[in-house]
Amino acid sequence: MSTFKEAHQVRVALKVKLSQYCWYANSTVVSNDGDYSIVVVVKKLDNQVRKIIPPVIDGISIKTEEK
């Protein structure tokens, strides 16, 4: 089970990595029944973007949504 602090640290590290891409919009930490995950919002969602954004980092689930 992840804490908010752990999820936030992963979100910030991911934001630094993804902010160089033009398709990156933003990211947020969301709570799912006491467990935290990250939602990454992108301007376009294709296979190339899916390959760059991992589904899990340090046990934190990463979900991708198109704007």
Specify the pLDDT at position 34. Answer: 85
The residue with tokens 């760059």 is: 52
pTM here is: 0.92
Instruction: Starting at the earlier edge strand, list the strands of the sheet with 24-32.
Output: 24-32, 35-42, 60-66, 56-57
Structure tokens, 2: 């992840």
Domain 4-66: CATH architecture, name and number where available: 2-Layer Sandwich (3.30)
| Amino acid 1: pLDDT | 78
Domain positions in the chain are: 4-66
Q: What is the predicted pLDDT for the residue at 37?
A: 97
Q: What is the pLDDT of residues 8-57, one digit of tens each?
A: 999 999 999 999 999 999 999 999 888 999 999 999 999 999 999 999 99
Give the whole-angstrom CA distance, residue 30 versus residue 37: 5
